[in-house]
Structure 1
């Protein structure tokens, strides 16, 4: 089964401030295709604390496309009908939804799930479920807070969580795996509230 791992970096704490996006289309832990772009966000103030995290500055996004252009010409086609995964999905899917609503674009009915929730269920013995710590544990090469690197390693973590299943390429097997651990695919539809129902407490830093 193919899936698309998603990661945003933001200019500030506003959900309409994504300044970078990374997507990795993967199958059975292997990268099939990638997409990365800077974004010129509606909320374009760069908080120094955000710059300190990801290193992106206003100079980097000068001349970058806005989200509407990226969505209509690249992102929607790249994602297609594949399952979307993210490490702390309420954050990344929340940004995606906020941007679609900001530009009055149809909210795509995407299926998605969260590798933080999966990690906590599958490896409860781990003291940290941050992406950087999971990457180190599994020996993945990793450059934190690069949107594309985050997306790729999110996809690798997802694969690690179920790859011992005998027929791990089947959509039904992944559904069974998630159901066994009390996790279901969620669906992004109109409105905001579904994203925030029954969410587990999150740590301040998941990366």
Structure 2
């Protein structure tokens, strides 16, 4: 299995460029081999989703911005043939929105979605990250980007162990 990176963004507002945290887990040889996490100073000082992720402007205002973190982010993504996220449409939107907003070249790497995969491969009433993790017995500090990325990586590995292909989880468009 070639390199796959699971990622998770937290955002400070409704705009695609408002990343305020990013967690990534690198999968090589069928196991997680490395993790990366950072808070991110968002482009605007109002943080609307504190009740969800617990992050405040005071926690974020002295952090590096997305463009300042981009060399570290792109280095972690190096050699990845696939990006994975739980509800990957959201994370792809944030990654591309941040890159577009700050004039950075977005990585040309396809996205697979573990929500899509869990709907195909797991018989559950709900496929939210916390529900899938509970079903699989995975630890989760929900809405902590590092924990959510690790959870997405482990869900991806579980779905692959069931015989699901990347193509069955792939985002279109």
TM-score by length of 2: 0.91
Structure 2 residue 150 is the aligned partner of structure 1 residue 152: yes
| Backbone CA RMSD of aligned residues | 1.7
**Aligned equivalent of 2:15:** 14
How far does the alpha carbon of each residue in 1:16-43 deviate from its partner, in whole angstroms, 9 at most, with x for none? 1111110111235532111111111113
- The answer as to 2:161 corresponding to 1:163 is yes
The alignment partner of 2:126 has SS state of: coil
CA-to-aligned-CA distance 1:31-63 (integer Å, 9 cap, x gap): 21111111111133111xx10111001111121
Match of 1:168 in 2: none
Asked whether 1:140 is paired with 2:141, we answer no
Write out per-residue CA displacement over residues 118-174 of structure 1, whole angstroms, 9 at most, x where no aligned residue: 111112x21010110111111111110000000000010011112144xxxxxxxx7
What's 1:34 paired with?
A: 35
C-alpha deviation, 1:113, in angstroms: 0.8
Residue matched to 2:90? 91
Going from structure 1 to structure 2, the CA distance change for 1:132 and 1:105 (only over 3 Å counts) comes to same
Q: Distance in 1 between matches of 2:17 and 2:87?
A: 17
- The worse-fitting range, judged by mean Cα deviation, of 145-154 and 110-119 is 110-119
The CA deviation at 1:3 is: 1.1
User: Secondary structure of the residue that 1:40 maps to in structure 2?
Assistant: coil
Instruction: Write the distance in 1 (CA, Å) between the matches of 2:95 and 2:162.
Output: 31
Structure 1 unaligned regions, length at least 5? 166-173, 187-193, 195-207
Structure 2 unaligned runs (5+)?
A: none
Larger Cα-atom Rg: 1
Structure 1 residue 106, shift from structure 2 partner: 1.5
**What is the SS of the residue equivalent to 1:143?**
coil
| TM-score computed with the length of structure 1 as normaliser | 0.77
